[in-house]
Each structure stands twice: as C-alpha cells, then as structure tokens.
Amino acid sequence: MKKPFLIPIILVALLTGCEPTLVSEFNDRPVVEGFLHEGQPPVITISKLIPFKDDVDFSSEDIDKLNITLIDENDKIDYVLTSKSEGKYSNESILAKEGHEYSISFTYGDLPVSAKTEIPAKPQNMKISATTIIIGGFQGMGQPTKADPMGQLEVTWDNPDNSYYVVAVINEEAEPKQIWNNDTPPDTAFQLDPTNGSSVQIPSRSFSYYGKHKVVLLKIQPEYLIMCQASGNSSGSPSEVIVNVKNGFGIFTGINSDTKSIRVYQNY
C-alpha cells in the first residue's frame, strides 16, 4: 500500500514487550521527532501538543530554548544540540555511527525527558528489477526487456534475521511532471508498509510523476514499527503516542539505508 512519505532521508533500543500507549486526555508534555540516520548529523524536533479544548494549562517552556544533550553511549561523549528555531535542534559536528547507541535528555517543565536508540546495520544486497520504467512496460539498464505482466517494480535485499524494513520512493526532479491529471498535485514521495521480508513489489501506478526517482531501502528499529502500528498506518504521527520517549510523546529512532535510482518515462 502506498503511504505518504514520513522519514527524513537526511538522517537498538529493543523494546521487548513494549506496546504503544495512546493518550486520550491532554498532557502538557513535549512531542519528540528524532531520526538518526547513519553518516548524517542528528536532527531533533520538539513541539507542543495542541489540545482539543481551551481550558488546559500549558507549561511556560520555550521549545527553542531547551538544553538538549545527545550522548554517544559507545564513545562516552556528550554533545550539546543547538536550536535552529521552530523547535529544531542539531549539531553538525556529529555524524551518527552504525552500531552505536545514542540517547537524548532534557528537562521540560519539571520533568526529565529522555530516549534511547541504536543505529542499525546498513541494508545488504539491495537490488531493483529495473532502472527505467515506461508506463505500460519496463526497461532494464537502458535496454529493452520484456514488460512485467503485473506492471510492478521489485525491490529485493538480504534479510536473514527477519529485521524490519521500509521502502520509500522520492522524485528528484526540480519541476516534476504529473503522470495522472489530478486537480491536487500528489506528494512527490511515498513509502510502503514496513515488512520483515526480503522483497516488495511496487506497482507502476504508484508513481505519480515522470523523471528521476530514488528508491530508498531503510532498515528500521522496533520503535518505528510500533509508531506505525499505533497510528494504524505507515505515516505514523507522533502526537499523543508514547513509544520510547520517557515523559514525552513521539519517537527517537535510528535508521540506515541504501539507495538505487530509477527513471520513469511516458509510453508514447
């Protein structure tokens, strides 16, 4: 199933026995969105819950003036994250390392907020069944091949330990041309449901634009899967969902990825 793209591609707390907690009553706690991608600086976004009623008390915390610390648990180094405005925090001197465990901590109101995750291993042996798609048929490696009768692009990889993965597709054109005549332009990126298998099929009708695309295979951690399950779909909103953030909502998770390129052309 095609889903709106969530994970930032600029970026193991094994939650054994952990279940997502959905909160129905308003709690003035921070919402954390933290995605640590191997080889890239951390980007953490803090926001406040928006209540559905008026008679609630907010804390006086300024989300742009929090003292957030990121700890590399392997190297035993503490890093201070700098506010970039609008609740975003980062430190460009840090590049997340595969296999390293990271934690964040800060105080919100009078509560200590914390979370922990690990950067998973890079996906192995990723392959795609074609590098060119012609709507109505396929070509591989720029040479004509027999069209897939199901009109599908196959993505495969090694998965001996049944880890979970997400496949995302991103259009890279500056001015992408729509395939279908929609009044409202569709998203230029989408992702599929998480899977612990070793392959997925992407129907050609899933593509909404012509031109160059990235096909990204992301290895995810259990907390991201829990977020998807809690929200009921892979677009996973962190608001009012408790996953692995102590005294807060949202998610702090590590990801790793591999990428292939594909072009979509019109079948004249």
**pLDDT given for residue 55 in this prediction:** 64
Residue 22 lies inside a defined structural domain of this protein: yes
Looking at the 3D structure of the chain, how many domains does it have?
2
**pLDDT given for residue 71 in this prediction:** 98
Residue 229 lies inside a defined structural domain of this protein: no
CATH code of the domain covering residue 199: 2.60.40
Report the 10 Å Cβ neighbour count for 131: 17
For every one of its 268 residues, what pLDDT tens digit does the chain have, with 9 covering 90 and above? 555 444 453 333 223 233 444 444 556 889 999 999 999 999 999 998 876 666 666 677 899 999 999 999 999 999 999 999 999 999 999 999 999 999 999 999 889 999 999 999 999 999 999 999 988 444 444 433 333 445 789 999 999 999 999 999 999 999 999 998 878 899 999 999 999 999 999 998 899 999 999 999 999 999 999 887 776 544 445 656 778 999 999 999 999 999 999 999 988 7
25 and 151 housed in the same domain: no
Query: Distances from the Cα of 132 to the Cαs of 72, 145, 244, 261, in angstroms?
Result: 41, 10, 40, 9
Structural domain span for residue 101: 8-121+236-254
207 and 191 housed in the same domain: yes
Report long-range pairs for 145-152 (Cβ below 8 Å, ≥24 apart). Answer: 150/201, 150/203, 151/203, 151/204, 151/205, 152/201, 152/202, 152/203, 152/204
Residue 84 lies inside a defined structural domain of this protein: yes
